[in-house]
Amino acid sequence: MNTLTEYISIWKSVPRFRLSMMVMIGITIVLFWMIIVSVGIGAVAISPSEVMAILLSKIGIAAGESFTPVQESILMNIRLPRVFLAVLVGAALAISGAAMQGLFRNPLADPGLIGVSSGAALATAIAMVVLSTLTWPVIELLGTALIPISAFAGGTFATVLVYRLSTNKGRTNVATMLLAGIAINAMAGALIGFMIFMADDDQLRDLTFWTLGSLGGAMWSSVWVVLPFLIAAILFLPLLSKGLNAILLGESEAKHLGIRVERMKKFIIIFVGLAVGAAVSVSGMIGFVGLVVPHILRLWIGPDHRFLMPGSAILGGLLLLGSDLLARTIVSPAELPIGVITASVGAPFFLWLLLRNREMSGYL
């Protein structure tokens, strides 16, 4: 690694490095500010200083600010796990999107592309419509965990399937993987349609809301279950940044630059599959984060994955946290599905980016 003096000289001499660093620091500060503010917003208001006081009291430091036990209970048991989950899910989805776009050398790739999301959705549909009506002891034991576990299993299964279909003699063909993903998406779509046809009115409503995504069910228990998978992707995928930069030149080119391309592909597929499967299992289908966040950053700081990967995680967390805040306050006391917010904010923004980009040069 570089020494501090080297970093300082890079900072001085490379404008893009300077811009990227400042953007990263900026969005990190905004993210922390947003966490403190958004845990205080809701039916019971908690001011930022009260939030700090409650958190400090938890580690044994008594702060001057006073707070009520209701505030403490709501913060600790309802708001914090939800905010925690929003940040982690947003970060994992966005960093998975950045990794996929790099791997496919295509700025339009998205974790949904290789079938993870639709595999998870199909498993959820089956769980809601078929499994939940059965009275097997296993299913009764699982209880409310049935749906997240099914979603996770479905997403992982779809990932493994796509990977197997596109890999021959240890080499993964990325174009085949894309096409296999399309086929699996279509297949899952058809089967989900069949489940919708079989579903009764209540199941139909549950299923529809699930596909639109929500963080409403967030509890510490669900946070702990998905945490390892999300954290693994968020911490590990940035280590592949240099390889992802090289693979943008082409797979052979990356290999001739010393990258173990096949090993890198496997790592990306595994970590993205697990992270997206885990994210979908707790929050349903949340579209657009994986696609839009890396794009925004790329237009802002350029395509270097060494900044793009960690930056996507931070900005993704920020975006989903903001969207969730909107989702739970805009029609309060009811809640909008978060997928409605991310798509209705993300899609026009994305179009605006494309139009602006078309006028500037036409390259992403």
Q: Under the rule (CB under 8 A), what is the footprint of other proteins?
A: 1-2, 6-7, 9-10, 13-14, 17, 105-107, 242, 245-246, 248-250, 252-253, 255-261, 298, 302-304, 306, 361, 363-364
Q: Please give the Cα distance from 171 to 263 (Å, whole number).
A: 9
State the minimum distance, in angstroms, from the CB of residue 297 to other proteins.
12
Mention every residue, 6+ apart, whose C-beta is less than 8 A from residue 282.
Answer: 85, 89, 148, 215, 217, 218, 222, 223, 225, 226
Distance CA(132)–CA(338), nearest Å, equals 25
Measure the CA–CA gap between 355 and 336, rounded to whole angstroms.
Answer: 29
264 or 269: CB nearest other proteins: 264
Q: How far is the CB of 115 from other proteins (least distance, A)?
A: 23
Closer to other proteins by Cβ: residue 120 or 247: 247
Closest contact distance (angstroms) between CB of 23 and other proteins is 16
| Closer residue to other proteins in complex, CB, 6/140 | 6
Please return the burial class of 20, using the count of CB atoms within 10 Å of its CB with bins 0-12, 13-18 and 19+. buried
For the bound state, the minimum distance from the C-beta of residue 295 to other proteins, rounded and expressed in Å, comes to 11
Specify the residue, 205 or 260, whose C-beta has the smaller distance to other proteins: 260
**Closest CB 17 distance from other proteins, rounded Å:** 7
Q: How far is CA 207 from CA 83, 106, 157, 191, 305, in A?
A: 24, 32, 20, 13, 36
CA 206 – CA 269 distance, rounded (Å): 30
How many CB atoms lie under 10 A from the CB of residue 22? 12
CB 91 → other proteins: shortest distance, Å?
A: 22
Nearer to other proteins, 197 or 363 (CB): 363
The CA radius of gyration of the chain, in Å to the nearest whole number, is 21
Closer by beta carbon to other proteins, 8 or else 29? 8
Would you give the distance in Å from CA 73 to the centre of its chain? 28
